[in-house]
Amino acid sequence: MAVKDVLIYPDPRLKEQCLPIINFDESVQQLLQDLVDTMIDAGHSVGVAAPQLGDLRRAAVVDVSKSKLGKKQENHGLLQMVNPEIIEKEGTQIVREGCMSVPEYTGNVTRSESIVVQFLDHNQQHQVIRCDGFEAIAIQHELDHLDGFLFLDRVSSLKTDLFRRKQK
């Protein structure tokens, strides 16, 4: 499969609502692998969603197990999610987020502390899992992409809650 280029805001495809995947064919398996390959290649990413690669289907991957924040908590490892949907949310917290599609900024965003998400996995098996902490945040961030939202849309004040990244 392949590492793909990640779309950068303000590419209009990042603001599109993605369509559900009806036919779970080889192209879906390829999309999931491309998402995994792209996430791993980035080196710092804990997730990526199909629209970030220019594909407007409802698929995303998340893996917080190798990040310093994810290692501190229980997590589900690599999640390959087709047609994911959050069916339960609990609590709220303000967290600092970044995004490969908005490489120059981070921002403070309000997210749920705990979620229950259902999806089809890469084997077309229906999954329902509860996620907490950093994993819940990462999943919410990636699922926002499927509905055409960036973390920028969730920042309450662009003046006080948006921060330019330090350049390396």
Taking a C-beta distance cutoff of 8 angstroms, is the pair 146, 58 a contact? Answer: yes
Tens digits of per-residue pLDDT, 59-102?
A: 999 999 998 887 778 999 999 999 999 999 999 999 999 999 99
- Identify the active-site residue in 26, 104, 113, 142: 142
16 is catalytic: no
Domain ranges for the chain, please list them: 12-164
Q: Which of 105, 102, 93, 101 is nearest to 161 (CA)?
A: 105
Residues 27 and 142: their CA atoms lie apart, in Å, by: 20
Top-tier CATH class for 12-164: alpha beta
Q: What is the pLDDT of residues 99-120, one digit of tens each?
A: 999 999 999 999 999 999 999 9
The model's pTM: 0.96
Q: Please report, as a single letter, which amino acid is at residue 71.
A: K
